Structures are given as C-alpha cells and as structure tokens.
Amino acid sequence: MASGNGPDEAARRPGLLSFPIHPALVAAYPILYLFARNLGEVDPAEVVGPLVVSIGLAVALVAGFRLLRVGTRRAALIASIVAVVILFFGQFVEAVRPLRVTETRLLIAWFGVAFVLVIVVLRVRRDLAAVTALVNLIAGVVVAFQLVTIVSGLAGRPPSTAGAPAATASPTAAPSVRPPTDAGQRDVYYLVVEDYGSQRTIGQYLGIEDDGFFSWLTDKGFEVLPDTRSNYGRTPLSMASSLNMTYLDEVARAQGPNSDSYAPVNEMVKFSAAARFLKERGYAIAQLGSQYYLTARGGLADVNPVFRQTSDFLAVLYESTVLPPIATRLGFGDAFSERRLNYEAATWGLDEFPKLRDLPGPKFVFYHLFVPHHPFVVDANGNYVTARDDAKRTPREQYQTQWSFVHRELRKLIEPLLALPEAERPIIIFTTDEGPNPEGMPTIEGDLDWSQATDAQLDQKFSIFAAYYLPGVSDSGLYPGLSSVNSFRLVFNHYFDADLPLLPDRNYIHRDKHHPYVLTDVTDRLPPPTR
C-alpha cells in the first residue's frame, strides 16, 4: 500500500488553490449550517466552542496522518472524509429516510463507503492538487453561503438595550412611570407550560384522558378557561404578543415578508411591556430561565437563574452526527442528547422555582416550563425515559404521561402559593403558548407549512387553556374567548387601574419557520371557544 507522497505530489510545491484548507471548512460547515437555520433561537456564543473543537480536531487529524508519513494533500482528504463520516450522518439518514432502511444497515453502508474512499486516496499515484483545489472550492462556496446568511441575519438584530424595542412602544403597552407600590402589593406569577393544548382538543385529537387537574384548579379558586386561543402558532411570536399585550402587525410590516430574523420578537420577550409595567411600579422581576434561548434570560430581570445550556443547539448538533447510534450500541444511550437536556432542564427548573417563590415581594415571577412539549422524556413516576424505551410507547401514552407529570409537579408549585393568608396570595396567570403540533402536517423545506394546514390542524394548534387566580376580585371579566394578548391587559386593569382596552381576539398563522412575518388571519377558520 502506498502510504505517502506520490511522485508528482512530492516534486511540486503546493499552489495557493491547491493548499488543503478543506478539512477546516468541512468541519465547520454542519455547525454553521445549523446556526444559520436557527439564528433567532441560538446564542452566538454557543457556536464558538463547537467550531473551535471541530476545526481543531480536523487540523489535528491532518497532523496525525502527517506523522504517519502520509502526504499533506492525502492527509487532508482523509481528514475531510473522517469529518464527513462523523458530522454528516444525520443529514444522510434524513436524505434516505423514505427508503426505510434500518439504522444498522445505514451505518454499515456509511462506514463502508468511507473506508473505500480512504483506500482510494491512499493508493492513487497521481498528483492530488486538482482534487484538492476542487474540494477546497466546493467547501469554500458552501461555507461562504452559510456565513453570508449568518452575517446578514445577525446584522439585522436590534441591539440589546435596557429599554423595550420600538416595536413594543405604544400608549397602551407602555404606560407612564408611576410611584412604587407599597410593600403589601400582591406578587404576580406568569406560569407558561409549552405546547399544552386545550381540555377539548387534547381529548378530541390526542385521546388524552382528563386526570382531574382542571377540576383541581377550579376547586382551588382559579377561574379556568379550558378552551380558549393563542394568538400565534409559534412560541416566539406568541410570547412576544402576550407579554407585550399587542399584536405583531407593526413588527411584520417593519421586517417584511422575506425576513427570517426572530431578533425583533426575541427582544420583545426579553424586554417585555408586562415586565416594564410592573418594574415601573416597584416590582422586582424574577425570571426562571429555561434551556430555550428565547426565555433563558430576561433583559429586565433582577433575579434570573439560568440553566447551564440556554439552547438545544449542542444537543441537536450532537444528534446530527454519527455519535448517538454508536453511543447507543456501546451502552451510553442518550447521555448527550436533546432528550436528556430537556429532562435535566425541566427537573432543574422545578427544583429552582421555590427559591423564587421565597423572594421578598412585590415581585413578578415568569416561569417557562418546556414540557409537555416533545421529546417525551418522563415515565409515570417522573423518571427519565430513554429514546429506545420511548419508541415502544404510543403517541397517546407519550403525551398522557408527560401531561400528567406536568400536572403533578405544578400542583406542588402552586399549593404553597395558595396556602398564604388571603391578603398575601399572588395573582397567577397559568397558561400555555400554543397547542401541540398536529400529526400529518404538510412541510416545506423540512419545516411545517402552516399555509397548507387544515381547519382541524389549526384548531389543535391554536386551542389552549388558561387559568387565572385573581384574589380580591369579585367580577373577573373573563370570558371563554379571552386570548393571550389580553391576559395582562385584564390583570393590570383589575389591580393597577391601568385602563387598557381589551383588543379583539384574533388568531394568525405564520407561513413557516423561515417566514415568521408572513401572517394570515385564520380566526374565522377556528370553532368558537367553548366553556
């Protein structure tokens, strides 16, 4: 076997185009691609580490093969092949998924082709300058395209400031500063669980049995709207709207239909009008950060525990590699997966919540719990469920178990708040951002295409529940169709004489993940909310 330099390769000095930079480019591409596809949901700082490690390992591979007396260009080509094998397996699996080939056979084919390519690179006797130049060119073009996408996207982000973005400024969403409240003012809690759905739709579409949680809330003094509506069908849009008590028409007009930047709505969540309203009135702001970049950190928060990882970027990147199937076969299972991240973040948040509850008031506490949103990671006792065991459960069993887990844990969180003397009991808005994604949704470029959704799919996505604990209020003014955009308006009117008019309850779909500002009113396609 020829191990090193071919006669022509050793004789020539490498030209600029044939200098092998492609291993670094190949190693960087999957990371940049994933970042470019999720600019609004990933902290750029989380991308630096994986880039450095991936590129560093690729360069180290080249150096290692050089120590084995393999020529530079050959060593670089082998390093790029190894990088593709490790980093691109997830994309390969998605491409051949319609063929329904087992993962084991895909692994054998994947490594088999790579082995053959390595042998060819080592055995070929001709000069590899042209091949190197071609691979450099291809890798350079695809990486440059991702960099352009990233730079243009980041350039469109508004700067983080201590104030609210212009999109949230309005006479109703940003009242003038008033004197601080007295120390006896009630705390305000905003508890948001992810992708929960309404009592009707989880039974109608998912077959989930009511475990008595809604009745428990009613018995505890909550006024429950079991079948109301979210205003938008995607978390950043929905939360920006509800926390700022406004629709997103102005943001959509300013961004335009071709924008895929979530920066404006992310900033609206970070510097929300609801938090500003209460901060101006002497409230401390406490935000319990989720693992989700959108709600990990509050720009106005005085207290803000943050989970060790503020997006699932690393977990998604890991799961796109060849490492998870290998780890499973070696007995490591889901050790570094998105599943494990979601479980650890959820249990961490539930443990942290009592610390915020015990802070002196008056305070506004915002807690975003990222379940029962998939992946389905708990069993009936709240223990972690591996991907392999989860695959044995039906969709109904998966959601029912996680749904019941949320109920059990939230009872533990809420009961101490209601055990306080009546004058000290807090105001609680307990709701969700949107319903779960329906089965059989049409897709476009791998993302859900809401412009093609059926009426039933829209019903499942937009129908949610909301429960309000409004101590000291004799007539709440709540009604079955009160949507999320009006939650804080109603509460602030009751307790702060804010005189904020309630907005019409409307519902808007976005076209797809990459066109968040192509919004269509679908209110008339949804059934009227029931009580």
Tokens 């065991």 appear where?
389
Asked whether the predicted pLDDT for residue 321 surpasses 50, the reply is yes
Q: What angle (nearest 5°) sits at the alpha carbon of residue 519, between those of residues 515 and 521?
A: 155
CA atoms of 371 and 380, how far apart (whole Å): 14
Beta bridge partners of 232: 508
CA atoms of 58 and 26, how far apart (whole Å): 9
CB burial readout 485-511, b (16+ within 10 A) else e? bbbbbbbbbbbbebebeebebebbbbb
- Spatial CA neighbour of 87 closest among 336, 340, 318: 318
Q: How many CB atoms lie within 10 A of CB 3?
A: 12
For the chain, the domains span 7-155, 188-308+336-525
Per-residue pLDDT at 157:
56
Q: How many CB atoms lie within 10 A of CB 399?
A: 21
Give the pLDDT confidence of 120-151 residue by residue, as tens digits: 999 988 888 999 999 999 999 999 999 998 99
Per-residue pLDDT at 165:
38
Give the pLDDT confidence of 341-389 residue by residue, as tens digits: 889 999 999 999 999 988 998 999 999 998 888 889 998 888 999 888 8
What is the torsional sign of CA 227, 231, 236, 240? negative
Instruction: Give the pLDDT band (50/70/90) at residue 7.
Output: very low
3-state secondary structure of 523: helix
3-state secondary structure of 118: helix
Q: Using an 8 Å Cβ cutoff, are 361 and 286 in contact? A: no
Rg (Cα) of the chain, in Å, rounded?
26
HSE-CB at 132 with a 13 A cutoff on CA atoms is 23
Per-residue pLDDT at 177:
37
Give the pLDDT confidence of 199-251 residue by residue, as tens digits: 999 999 999 888 899 999 999 999 999 999 999 999 999 999 999 999 999 99
Tokens 């009511």 appear where?
210
Instruction: Give the pLDDT band (50/70/90) at residue 169.
Output: very low
Q: How many CB atoms lie within 10 A of CB 53?
A: 12
End-to-end, the C-alpha distance of the chain in Å comes to: 77
Per-residue pLDDT at 191:
97
> Tokens standing for 165?
């973005």
What does the chain come to in residues?
531
> Tokens standing for 317?
């990147």
Q: What angle (nearest 5°) sits at the alpha carbon of residue 93, between those of residues 91 and 235?
A: 60
What's the predicted TM-score (pTM) here? 0.82
Q: What angle (nearest 5°) sits at the alpha carbon of residue 371, between those of residues 367 and 375?
A: 145
CATH tag, 188-308+336-525: 3.40.720.10
Relative to beta strand 363-372, strand 447-448 is unpaired
CA atoms of 436 and 381, how far apart (whole Å): 23
